[in-house]
Structure 1
């Protein structure tokens, strides 16, 4: 069954579509000024409502080509004849992002093209997300444990708190970072400074996706434990270390801190191939 989004707003063109088992991705072009008083949320609400009504009506909702007509999409009532409110096909709300930077559109298309393959691998090989791998990232030969597909995600941000930040500056950065995680972005950090730890701790508690850069590597037969295991198994965590495992108690040096922060920034700017 197909629903054309331009039935709901001729100012939009569906540039790219990726349908997954439990969610849908769309890249939409705004081809002209939206009608006065109308914004993207109105269009998304109309699209979601049309899909739900098509679901309720099933086959009678489609014409011979399987295309929902405008009248059918908007006239099926949300309340049944028995007075019960019909369930929506979608959860409330949606996540949107404006693509402004060079290369963002191509990055997202590549990511969406690969989405079904990643899901198939995850379902066929669930242990793949908790097994150690090696990958060159910038100048470092890194060990990886967790969901290494997080490296492919276009939306990543480095959580690095500088000593010069005032309390007000830190509070604003923290707000932005957590909002980024709430919107589906990935927070990348070595979590060295206490304030970096606080941000990553809160993000972990909230179930956001994280890439954690570690000073120490992973021992043989390493498996994440506790909340890290749950996060890795759920595809929400990747742990990265540029160095091999050691058993000594070491005080991390300033040079190592700077190197780990550079690695975090490199992870944000790179995509795995």
Structure 2
């Protein structure tokens, strides 16, 4: 595995949809590096609260239980060493309602890495019930212990100097674990690619700042269903005021475009953006991605059309979704709008006609016979995204 990481080989396997990022056929006892996200049942802020006057000063103030969980994470490798497990914790972060863990398996394990995670989760639940349940029971009776109060009682969630999150006692009294049990919420990622480990460690450390930005910019991170623009419906997230911008341009480049063509187009797009144009793109080809990245890095507003980019409606991940990586930063600054067309938009008759016309033009230019493509194909959907971008930009 270490050799594969060093050489940049990608060992992707099919993902189990019931267990987020679980790779079928992978030996979870072998040497590898993993990232786990473990959410609290109901996403209650069981471990503490977020504090700070700005994103740069944001930090998690752990209560007594949160500090115990943090200590258990730090001692995880040493605890399992005596059981024949060679592990190394590379990064950890206890957030108010979830835990991040980046851990390396140094030698083949007696059992899967999942057994280690289950053991940690069980130990955390045991500590909560043994050390905090008893101390909090009477306090819960005084406070009434209902769920609305549990979510809102921030003073006790902070657990000031030796305090415990007592107001959660009744919520967790009849539950077997403090952790989310639905397998759909189980999130793991095997870090295969070069550079992926450093990015993941940076992501884990950056969690308090990202949470502060999301908390203080709720409208920019709200998932909207049925956003209507140019007669088409979308799922969307980001700065919706960008749709009202009077001047728009699109970026569409062939996959065969060379570096000179891409650079020439980039300069034209940057000039228009400097003069106030909003850029619409599906960012599919290498040239489109390079131009979108250049616009984003220079702080120009961008509307990106996605194919299957958001959680499905009703998905357990819908409530807590946020764009990843660089899109998160652009979204937090109000410089980005993400649009995913609904199936109705993809099936829109005028969009189908526009795609067919574009395909006919390409066939004529290359002197081959036109062959219709099914609307369910990936090629149709990518071309439809570009047609929608043109319609939005030219309203």
Question: Normalised by the size of structure 2, how large is the TM-score?
Answer: 0.33
TM-score normalized with structure 1 length:
0.46
Q: Over alpha carbons, which structure has the higher Rg?
A: 2
Q: Which has the higher helix share?
A: 2
